[in-house]
Structure formats: C-alpha cells, structure tokens
C-alpha cells in the first residue's frame, strides 16, 4: 500500500468512526438532557400532587378532631354498662355521640367507620353499630397506632391493617384529653384503601403513567390501578427502586431512573407525606425520549456535513506533506540504529553494577538484622520502611504492622506527641536527634528507649531518609525514679526523720521534724538528738535503748521529748543502724511520729469504754463489774439483791414523730429522774437504746424493793418537756432476785429480761417478777414465733382461695385469700392453729404484708390471663393499726401498674376497726382513694354499734359464719342475720354471708334478701391453680336462680 493510500485510509476511516461515535454520543446526551429537563419540570408537579393527597387525608383527620371537640365527647357516661358480648355499650346508650358520628360519616366519604376506645384499649362503641357487633377483637391496646397516640397524646395515623369486614384500611386515632391533660378516650376513624386509590387515579396524576402510595412499612395501600393492590384481605409489600433511593437521600423529592424485570426503562419520583407515607409517581422513559427524537436526528446530520468538509481539506494538506515525511523517515532510521547500539552497551554495564549492589546490600542487611540494638529506617516521606529483627522481636509484631506509622501504636500515650514532634522537627531540618520515650514490649511492659537518628545519604550525597538506633535505658530510669522517690519520701513524709553520723551528730532532718519539734533544720544540724530530751525517762531507759540498738541493729518504742517552746510531747520512735559493706555503722536513722493526741484519746476512750456517752451512766462493761461486786456484797451481808431490767414503752413513737434529737433528750431526762429515785448504794446502767438495768443493793425485805419500783414507774410516766413538745412514755420492768433466782450474773440478767418481756406483753407500764413457769411459757412462745419466721423464710406458707358467689344470678363474684402452712412433717396446717400465736407481735405485721403481696401477685397473674376476680385479703389487726399502713400498701402495688385496684378488697375484723375507730376510718378512706374496697369481717361478733357503722366507710359487711351455721335452727341467730342485712341496706352497704355449708342455708339467705355468699356448701378453699377450672365448671342450683330477691339489691355486674 502506497503512502498516499495510507493517508487516504487514515482520514476516511477515522471520519466514519467519529461520525458514528458522535451520533451515538448525541443520542445519549440528548436523552440525558431530556431526562434532566423532564425531571426538573415535573418535580414541582409531584409536590403539588402530594399536597393534594395530603389535604384529602388531613380533611378526614380534621373532621375527626372537630368532632372530638363537641360537647357530646367531653365524657364517657356509660363505662359501667360495657358488655363484652356486645363489644361495648348497647346501641340505645350514648345516642348523642352516635348522631354526631353519623353526621361525621356523612360529611367525609373517605371514612367508613368511627369508634371510641377506653384508655386501656377496651372497645366502647363503634358506628355503624353493625361493625361493633362484628368486631373480632375487643381490646386494641396492642395496636401500634394506639400505643403511639397514647404516648404522644396527639393524632396518629396507622399503617395499613385488615378491618373487621376483611377490607384493607388505615386508622386515624385522636386522643381525647381531660382538663388535666390525661387521656380519657380515643376517637378513631377507618379509611378504606379502596377510597385512597381514587386520590391517585390516572386522570389526577397526568402526565405520569402510574402512581402508588405506601405506608411506613412499605406496604402498598393505594394504586392508580386499584387492581394492582392485591386480593381483598391481604397486603402487598412493594420492593421498589425508588424506595431504596429515597432512603439514601435527604431531599424532600427523590428522582430515580431504573429498568424493570421486563426490560422497560422508567423515570419516577418519590416523596414522603405526613405520617411516614410515601408517594411514588413514574413514567416510561420511551415516552419522554420520544418527545426529543427529532432534535437528535437533525443534530447528527449537521455534524456529518461539517465533518465531511473538514476531512476533505485535511486530506489535501496531508498529500502535500507526505513527500517530506518520507525523507525524514530515512534519516530517523539511521539515528535509531546508532542509538540501539549504545543502549545495548549501557545495559551490559548496569547489569554488572547491579550484581555488586545486591552483594553489598545483603552484607549490610545481615549486619543490621543481627545487631543487638533496635534499628529502623525512614524514607523521604518520613514513613518508616525498615525495622531489624531485634526491633521486631522486642515488639512482637511483624514488619508490615510496624511500617509506615504503625510503630507509633507501641509508643506510650503520654510520650507519643513529644516523640513525633522531635522526630518530625529533626526530619524537616535534616538534623540528627536523640530522644527518650517508652515503647511497649511484646509482653505488654513499657520500656524506656534512647532513640538516636541520623540523616541518611546515597553515594551521590543526596538525602534519602533517616537511619535510627534505639537502646533500652529502662534500668537507668528506674534508678533515677528510686532516687527521686527516696528524696520525695524524706521531704514529704508526715513522720519526723533524723539522720546522724556514727558519732550521733545530726546531719539532716526533714520538714516534719521541724513541724513537730519547732526546731529548724539549721538549728538541729550538728547537735546530738539528746537536746530534745525531757525529764520523763531516766538514764536506765536510755542505757537499755542503746544496748538494744547495738545488739539488734534497731530499737522501737515510745518516749517523751520536749519541743522548742517547752511543751512535752509523746512520740513513737524507731532507730535503725545503717552499716557499710564492711559491717561498720556509718549512720543512724530515726523515724518518729507525734502520738500525743493518741495518748489523750486513749484516756478519753478509757472513760467511753465504761460509761454511756449520752446519759453518763455506766455501760454494759462497767455494769458487769458492778454486778459482780453487788453479788459479793449481798453474799457477805446476807442481804437480797434485786436485778431489774427496764424498757421504755412508747419511746419508738417519740423517736419517729419528734425526731432522734428529742428521743436523746428524753433519755437524758429519764436518766436524771432515775438517779433521783435510786439510792446512792444502787447502780443505774444503760444497755443501749431505751433499755436500762438498775441494781438495788442491801434489800432487807421485798417490800423495800417494791416501794422503789413503784416510784420509778410513777416518775417514768410523768410528761417530758422536749423543746416545744410534750411527750409521755411509761416503763416496763422485769425483776429477779439474788440469790432466789440464781447466782450467775448472766443468768440473773437473762431472767430480768424475760420478766420485762412478759411485762410488755401484758400492756406495759408495770413490773413483773420472774416466774420460772411463766418463763417456760414465754420461751415456748418465742420458739413458736421463731419457727413461724423460719417457715416464712423457707417458703412453707401458701395461699388458698375460697370463691364468693352471687346465688341469685349464678355467677362467681370473687374469692377470699386464705393462708395455709405446708409443714414439711405435719402437712397442711390451717391458720387457726398458728395465727393466734402472732397476735400482738411484730411478726403479725410481717406475715400480713406477705399475705397482701402474695395475693396481689396472684391477682395480677389472673388479670393477665383475662380472669378478673375481686380478691378479699384479710388484714391483721396489728398491721391495720400501723400509721404507715396505706403507704406500705401503695409500695406493694407499685410493681403492678396495670392491675385495676378495684379488684382488691381488704377484710378487717370488726373488733380491730373498733380498737381505734378514727385511725381505722382514716386508713379505709386513704385506701379507697386508691380504688381499694373494704369489708368488715365477722360482723356481729363485736359491738356492731350503729355509731361505729356510720363512721366506718367500709363497703361490705361479712356476716360471721357462727350466725349462718345455726340460723336454720336458732331463731336468735336468724334474727341477727336479718338485722345485719337490714343494717347493710339502711347504710347502703353490700352484705355477704360466710359459712354457707348447705343448699338450705343458701335458700334461707335468698329468702331474707342476702344474695352473696361463701362457704363449704359452695366450695372449699383451693390452691390458685385449681380456681380457674372450678369457675368454669360451677353451676348454681336451678332453684337459687328462680328465687326473687326479697331484700337488698346489688346492681354490680358479675365478674365472671
């Protein structure tokens, strides 16, 4: 092929390729420009469509919100008439609300159903009523939209759900708030998805081909083609490219181009609207590109013409220059041959040099690798690229891990910044450097390194980096730190330090020496330490000191010295002899601490060890000495000795109400009164708290002892003026006599304590002489109480439940919680055998709290299982009398916030309530404010005064079983039962009969107007696990259900 043909081909072929490439490029460019222009033009249109859709949804929400403000919705007035079988209230109730809801549905075609829910999620009413009847779920508290509305107290729109009619829908939830801002109901509206699809019909989204609406979970809830949503009653979760692109951008409107599974290209927009919904609008790319196809063809034609003209001009110029190129090619070929020969010669020389360089490199690398120091190298970028084997073995890391800046990971954090500043500063100025820093060794220990770096040059003198060598200098640092520590200890020690030479001349003292003695360092230097001596120790003391020092090499002990101001002070001194390598003493070191204050404290502690710091009375320790002396005196003089233990009644109440300061003042005043009442030969001691012991010595007769005891009781019960308050206490005294009740001091104190315990059990403000028989009974009672405490700790107690029923309606209305003791040896023990032992003891409170807590726990379990029972819980009288009873009950309820307190009924004995009627009424009222009901148990066995019944706000009277059992045969018992029923009706109280053991008892009670009962004739107490099964099986006798109520009326609905 000639040169001219080559030139012709070189111009024509590129021209054709260029024309084809430009055509393709222009087509793609115009297509892209068309896409960008179309997306820009349609972006605002998408927002307008989204706004229109949002306004439709907002209109329905606003209509609901407006309806919620109507007077008809200010309160729910028929909550007590809810019937779960009707899924809410009957249709004839709350007609005002139903009319308002009907008007709302008429105004908003989007809404198909409206409903009201209680704050706990229970259904109150729905409109239309047919929807309420067909509901499949009664409580909607588990719905996410209900939970969000409850938490935020604001209107909430749900994700797509399946409605009661099986159609797809979304829910609008409007919380209704009372004046305190608390939710008292939820107003909800149902919008069918088929109504939403009309909002994005094809005619409303032109020029887009398709429109879709998705909820927060990505489920398709509306489509311009409703047939795309899917079959009725199911959801279609859409996975659309627009959704992924929209999540990855923060723009309000997102644009995306994609290809579907069939190969069709689409252009689409996505925009979030309120409540987390997403609007998708899309159009086929072919329809957009078709609008711009003509412009692309015109442009390609114009470019082709221009390219043809320019190619012809270039071809003519190329032919002219081709001749000159041929001449230049010949000259170039000659030069090429000469250059190729020179390159071959130079390559041979370089190969020989490279062999020598490799040999030298291997030699030096072997030297560096085995060198005992840590060696590193850095390049022109200040990054380390080499570490020898010693370095890598030291750090335990690979060369790759250390390279670059990796070595800095092992530098101690406190040294890193200074290390890098020194290194980079020297590198910048091309100067040698030396620095010390800590580097982590392979075992994790940081070691001090001396790092010396030198600039590194090649054979031509060009700087190519740094070469550094590191040496471990940790031992030098440790030695320096030890010296610094010794100096710091000497200077900052709180103990005085004296250093003398072998001749006992002072050569140094520390600051603590000067602080303690008052002598400065300059005043002490050169003197013998004996200048500090006082006259407290004799010469023999110092002779013994030196003998021990010379024999043992040290001496330690206490001595008294004199300060510069003449004051005597005590010190604890240790003297050590310091010897050289030949075993010769060259120094003495004395270390002493000022213990003057300690000596004074010991004297004070000696007093505190034997006397009570508050009252100044002898304490337990000194009492032991006095008791031994009194026993010895009584034995020698043949007299009696009275050992008396006293405990103040009501002292805890003074402490709790007036404070500990008032309690302390009362104890001081009481101690002074007792000093005035006792003789000088007697002993009064305080054991602790409000317990005292007094020893009455030299008793010639027991009457003499009684006279003193009576004076003490009278004096103790007199009022105490405590600031602005007046307090009263009394004394319980236990008395035992020596030698009648024993001779051992501990036994006498134990007998007095036991007698005092019986005095307190009998009401206090009295004395009690130790009686061996009563002591045995008291110990037996204590043993029994201890066993009950062990049973409680071991979990041997359990709760049984006896059902309560409404005989006339044939339904279970609750149960009474009854304690049982599952004894490991005796089996199940009824409460009548062990509860009397706990009366008037603090264990009664402990057990009562356990019963309440266990019953509430079981009640909560039933409530979670859907079993609603009113549980009656018996309260110990002593527990009810506690001032903090209501607060304690609130603490027991705190772990169960969802448990309705209306299901709890506390049963108290009539006699317990009458013990302190004012307090009982306050406790009942406080608990009723928490929603808890009260019942008077065993009513009729106490005073049953009309005045008491009037002032005690109990909700229920429980007729004692003793009257019920005998009412069929004893007219008086029947009269009592009728009287209690009449009282209950007169005072608007409920009444329930205990002890219904036969059907005849139930018939008789129904005939006189008592419809509620419990007893063995209905069911025995049973474990909690058996109660649900019993309820499902129990049926009232048919003739009970047909009897008319002749007396009281109970409109409360059945619980079960």
Q: Give the model confidence (pLDDT) of 610-629 as tens digits.
A: 899 999 999 998 999 999 99
**Cβ(693)–Cβ(645) below 8 Å:** yes
Q: Could you tell me if residue 16 is inside a domain? A: no
User: Can you tell me which residue has the tokens 């909690």?
Assistant: 1024
**Which residues have a Cβ under 8 Å from the Cβ of 668 and sit 6 or more positions away?**
614, 615
**Which residues have a Cβ under 8 Å from the Cβ of 621 and sit 6 or more positions away?**
609, 610
- Kindly report the CATH number assigned to the domain that includes residue 754: 3.30.70.270
Q: How far is CA 301 from CA 25, 27, 33, 155, 313, in A?
A: 13, 12, 19, 62, 19
Q: Give the model confidence (pLDDT) of 95-114 as tens digits.
A: 888 888 988 888 887 788 99
Among 264, 284, 304, give the residue marking a domain's end.
284
Instruction: Give me the pLDDT at residue 944, please.
Output: 46
Do 809 and 890 sit in the same domain of this protein? Answer: yes
Do 615 and 592 sit in the same domain of this protein? Answer: no
Look up the domain containing 408 and give its range: 371-478
**Which residues have a Cβ under 8 Å from the Cβ of 623 and sit 6 or more positions away?**
683, 685, 687, 693
- Kindly report the CATH number assigned to the domain that includes residue 835: 3.20.20.450
User: Can you tell me which residue has the tokens 């100044």?
Assistant: 616
Q: Could you tell me if residue 360 is inside a domain? A: no
Whether 356 shows a pLDDT value over 70: the answer reads no
Distance CA 251, CA 1011 (A): 71
Segment 29-40 mean pLDDT: 75
Distance CA 298, CA 562 (A): 119
Closest CA to 642 of 653, 657, 659, 627: 627
**Cβ(1026)–Cβ(865) below 8 Å:** no
Do 591 and 641 sit in the same domain of this protein? Answer: no
Do 408 and 537 sit in the same domain of this protein? Answer: no
Do 952 and 803 sit in the same domain of this protein? Answer: yes
* 210 confidence band (pLDDT: 50, 70, 90): confident
Distance CA 8, CA 663 (A): 123
Among 601, 619, 642, give the residue marking a domain's end.
601
Return the structure tokens found at 1017: 């004739």
- Least confident among 182-186, 519-523, 775-779, 962-966: 775-779
- Residues of the chain with pLDDT > 70, as a percent, come to 87
Whether 937 shows a pLDDT value over 80: the answer reads yes
Distance CA 472, CA 447 (A): 7
Residue 397, number of CB atoms within 10 A of its CB? 18
**Cβ(160)–Cβ(222) below 8 Å:** no
**What's the total number of domains in the chain?**
5
Among 261, 284, 307, give the residue marking a domain's end.
284
Model pTM?
0.39
Do 590 and 639 sit in the same domain of this protein? Answer: no
Do 453 and 503 sit in the same domain of this protein? Answer: no
**Which residues have a Cβ under 8 Å from the Cβ of 69 and sit 6 or more positions away?**
none
**Cβ(596)–Cβ(569) below 8 Å:** yes
User: Can you tell me which residue has the tokens 């709290």?
Assistant: 849
**Cβ(29)–Cβ(295) below 8 Å:** no
Q: Could you tell me if residue 178 is inside a domain? A: no
Instruction: Give me the pLDDT at residue 232, please.
Output: 45
Q: Give the model confidence (pLDDT) of 393-437 as tens digits.
A: 999 999 999 999 999 999 999 999 999 999 999 999 999 999 999
293 vs 306, more confident: 306
Do 467 and 557 sit in the same domain of this protein? Answer: no
Segment 294-313 mean pLDDT: 71
Cα–chain center distance at 474: 47
Residue 610 CB-half CA count within 13 A: 9
Q: Could you tell me if residue 763 is inside a domain? A: yes
Q: How far is CA 505 from CA 332, 373, 509, 588, in A?
A: 104, 49, 11, 9
Q: Could you tell me if residue 89 is inside a domain? A: no
Q: Give the model confidence (pLDDT) of 699-747 as tens digits.
A: 888 788 889 999 999 999 999 999 889 999 999 999 999 887 777 888 8
Q: Could you tell me if residue 52 is inside a domain? A: no
Do 619 and 754 sit in the same domain of this protein? Answer: yes
- Kindly report the CATH number assigned to the domain that includes residue 519: 3.30.450.20
Instruction: Give me the pLDDT at residue 646, please.
Output: 96
Q: Give the model confidence (pLDDT) of 885-917 as tens digits.
A: 999 999 999 999 999 999 999 998 866 666 677
Q: Give the model confidence (pLDDT) of 270-293 as tens digits.
A: 888 876 778 888 888 877 777 666
* 987 confidence band (pLDDT: 50, 70, 90): confident
Segment 956-981 mean pLDDT: 91
Do 680 and 582 sit in the same domain of this protein? Answer: no
Instruction: Give me the pLDDT at residue 224, please.
Output: 79
Do 750 and 830 sit in the same domain of this protein? Answer: no
Instruction: Give me the pLDDT at residue 130, please.
Output: 83
Do 597 and 632 sit in the same domain of this protein? Answer: no
Q: Could you tell me if residue 317 is inside a domain? A: no
Q: Could you tell me if residue 121 is inside a domain? A: no
* 520 confidence band (pLDDT: 50, 70, 90): very high
């Amino acid at each position: 092929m000639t040169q001219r043909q080559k030139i012709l081909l070189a111009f024509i072929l590129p021209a054709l390729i260029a024309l084809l490439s430009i055509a393709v490029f222009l087509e793609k460019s115009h297509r892209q420009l068309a896409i960008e222009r179309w997306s820009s033009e349609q972006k605002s249109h998408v927002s307008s469509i989204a706004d229109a859709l949002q306004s439709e949804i907002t209109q329905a929400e606003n209509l609901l919100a407006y309806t919620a403000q109507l007077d008809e919705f200010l309160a729910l007035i028929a909550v007590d008439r809810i019937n779960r079988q009707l899924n809410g209230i009957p249709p004839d109730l709350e007609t005002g609300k139903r009319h308002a809801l009907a008007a709302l549905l008429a105004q908003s075609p989007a809404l198909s159903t409206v409903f009201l829910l209680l704050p706990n999620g229970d259904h109150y009413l729905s409109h239309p009523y047919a929807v309420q009847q067909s509901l499949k779920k009664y409580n909607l508290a588990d719905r996410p939209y209900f939970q969000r509305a409850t938490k935020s107290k604001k209107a909430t729109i749900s994700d797509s759900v399946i409605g009661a009619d099986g159609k797809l829908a979304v829910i609008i939830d409007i919380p209704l708030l009372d004046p305190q801002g608390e939710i008292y109901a939820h107003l909800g509206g149902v919008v069918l998805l088929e109504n939403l699809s009309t909002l994005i019909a094809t005619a409303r989204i032109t020029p887009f081909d398709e429109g879709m609406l998705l909820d927060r979970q990505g489920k398709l809830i509306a489509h311009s083609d409703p047939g795309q949503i899917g079959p009725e009653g199911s959801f279609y979760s859409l996975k659309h490219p627009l959704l992924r692109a929209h999540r990855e951008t923060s723009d309000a409107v997102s644009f995306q181009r994609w290809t579907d599974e069939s190969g069709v290209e689409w252009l689409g927009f996505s925009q979030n609207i309120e409540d987390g919904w997403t609007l998708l609008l899309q159009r086929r790319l072919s329809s957009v590109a078709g609008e711009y196809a003509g412009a692309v063809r015109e442009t390609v034609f114009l470019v082709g013409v221009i390219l043809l003209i320019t190619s012809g001009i270039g071809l003519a110029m190329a032919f002219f220059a081709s001749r000159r190129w041929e001449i230049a090619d010949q000259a170039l070929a000659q030069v090429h041959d000469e250059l190729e020969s020179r390159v071959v010669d130079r390559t041979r020389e370089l190969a020989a040099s490279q062999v020598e360089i490799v040999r030298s490199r291997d030699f030096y690398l072997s030297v560096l690798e085995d060198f005992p120091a840590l060696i590193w190298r850095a390049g022109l970028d200040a990054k380390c690229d080499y570490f020898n084997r010693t370095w890598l073995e030291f750090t335990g890391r690979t060369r790759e891990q250390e390279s670059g800046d990796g070595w800095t990971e092992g530098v101690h954090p406190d040294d890193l910044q200074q290390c890098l500043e020194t290194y980079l500063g020297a590198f910048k100025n091309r100067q040698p450097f030396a620095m010390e820093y800590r580097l982590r060794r392979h075992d994790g220990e940081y070691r001090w390194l001396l790092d010396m770096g030198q600039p590194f040059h090649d054979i031509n003198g060009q700087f190519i980096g740094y070469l550094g060598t590191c040496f471990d200098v940790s031992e030098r640092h440790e030695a320096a730190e030890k010296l610094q520590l010794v100096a710091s200890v000497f200077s900052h020690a709180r103990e005085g330090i004296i250093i003398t030479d072998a001749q006992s001349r002072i050569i140094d003292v520390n600051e603590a020496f000067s602080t303690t003695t008052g002598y400065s360092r300059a005043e002490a230097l050169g003197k013998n330490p004996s200048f500090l001596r006082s006259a407290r120790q004799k010469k023999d003391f110092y002779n013994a000191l030196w003998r021990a020092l010379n024999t043992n090499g040290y001496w330690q002990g206490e001595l008294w010295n004199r300060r510069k101001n003449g004051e005597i002070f005590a010190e604890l001194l240790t003297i050590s002899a310091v010897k050289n390598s030949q075993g010769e003493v060259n120094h003495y070191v004395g270390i002493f601490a000022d213990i003057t204050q300690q000596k004074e404290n010991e004297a004070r502690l000696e007093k505190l060890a034997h006397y009570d710091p508050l009252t100044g009375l002898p304490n337990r320790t000194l009492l032991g000495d006095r008791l031994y002396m009194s026993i010895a005196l009584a034995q020698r003089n043949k007299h009696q000795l009275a050992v008396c233990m006293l405990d103040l009644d009501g002292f805890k109440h003074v402490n709790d109400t007036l404070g500990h300061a008032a309690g302390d003042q009362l104890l001081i005043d009481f101690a002074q009164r007792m000093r005035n009442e006792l003789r000088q030969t007697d002993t009064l001691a305080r054991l602790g708290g409000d317990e005292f012991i007094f020893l009455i010595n030299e008793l010639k007769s027991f009457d003499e002892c009684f006279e003193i005891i009576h004076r003490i009781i009278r004096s103790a019960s007199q009022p105490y003026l405590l600031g602005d308050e007046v307090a009263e206490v009394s004394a319980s005294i236990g008395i035992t006599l020596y030698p009648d009740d024993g001779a051992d001091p501990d036994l006498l104190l134990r007998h007095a304590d036991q007698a005092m315990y019986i005095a307190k059990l009998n009401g206090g403000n009295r004395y009690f002489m130790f009686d061996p028989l009563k002591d045995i009974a008291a110990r037996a009672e204590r043993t029994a109480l201890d066993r009950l405490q062990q049973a409680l700790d071991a979990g041997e107690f359990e709760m049984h439940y006896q059902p309560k029923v409404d005989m006339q309606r044939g339904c279970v209305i609750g149960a009474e919680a009854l304690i049982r003791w599952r004894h490991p040896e005796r089996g199940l023990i009824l409460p009548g055998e062990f509860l009397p032992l706990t009366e008037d003891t603090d264990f009664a409170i402990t057990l009562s709290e356990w019963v309440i807590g266990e019953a509430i726990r079981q009640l909560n379990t039933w409530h979670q299982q859907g079993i609603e029972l009113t549980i009656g819980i018996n309260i110990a009288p002593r527990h009810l009398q506690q001032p903090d009873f209501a607060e304690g009950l609130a603490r027991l309820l705190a772990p169960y916030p969802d448990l309705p307190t209306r299901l709890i009924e506390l049963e108290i004995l009539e006699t317990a309530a009458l013990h302190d009627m004012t307090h009982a009424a306050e406790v009942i009222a406080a608990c009723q404010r928490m929603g808890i009901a009260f019942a008077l148990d065993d009513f009729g066995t106490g005073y049953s005064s009309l005045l008491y019944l009037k002032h005690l706000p109990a909700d229920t009277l429980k007729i004692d079983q003793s009257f019920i059992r005998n009412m069929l045969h004893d007219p008086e018992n029947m009269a009592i039962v009728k009287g209690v029923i009449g009282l209950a009706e007169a005072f608007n109280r409920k009444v329930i009969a205990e002890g219904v053991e036969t059907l005849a008892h139930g018939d008789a009670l129904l005939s006189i107007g008592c419809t509620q009962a419990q007893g063995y004739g209905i069911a025995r107490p049973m474990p909690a696990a058996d109660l649900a099964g019993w309820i499902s099986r129990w049926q009232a006798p048919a003739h009970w259900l047909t009897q008319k109520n002749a007396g009281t009326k109970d409109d409360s609905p059945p619980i079960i």
